[in-house]
Amino acid sequence: MTTSARLADDIDALLPQTQCTKCGFNGCRPYAEAMASGEADINRCPPGGAAGITGLAALLKREARPLDPARGVEGPRRVALIDEAQCIGCTLCIQACPVDAIVGAAKMMHTVIAELCTGCDLCVPPCPVDCISMPEAPPALAGWDDARADAARAHYAFRNARLARDAAERIDLLARKSAARREGNDDAKRAAIQAAIERARARQAARRT
pLDDT tens digits along 129-187: 999 999 999 999 998 999 999 999 999 999 999 999 988 888 878 888 777 777 777 77
DSSP string, 37-92: TTSS-S---TTTHHHHHHHHHHHHT-------GGG------B--EE-TTT-----H
**Model confidence over 80-114: pLDDT tens digits?**
999 989 999 999 999 999 999 999 999 989 999 99
d(CA 98, CA 126): 13
* Closest to 77 in 3D by CA, of 30, 22, 42, 121: 121
Q: How far is CA 206 from CA 192, 194, 196, 200, 201, in A?
A: 21, 18, 15, 10, 9
The model's pTM is 0.79
Q: How far is CA 141 from CA 61, 94, 155, in A?
A: 32, 21, 17
Domain spans in the chain, listed from the N-terminal domain onward: 3-71
Residue 54's CB: how many other CB atoms inside 10 A? 14
Looking at the domain that runs over 3-71, which CATH code has it been given?
1.10.15.40
* Closest to 36 in 3D by CA, of 66, 15, 65: 15
Q: Per DSSP, which regions of the chain are E strands?
A: 81-82, 102-103, 111-112, 132-133
In contact, 82 and 131? CB cutoff 8 Å: yes
pLDDT of residue 58: 97
pLDDT of residue 177: 78
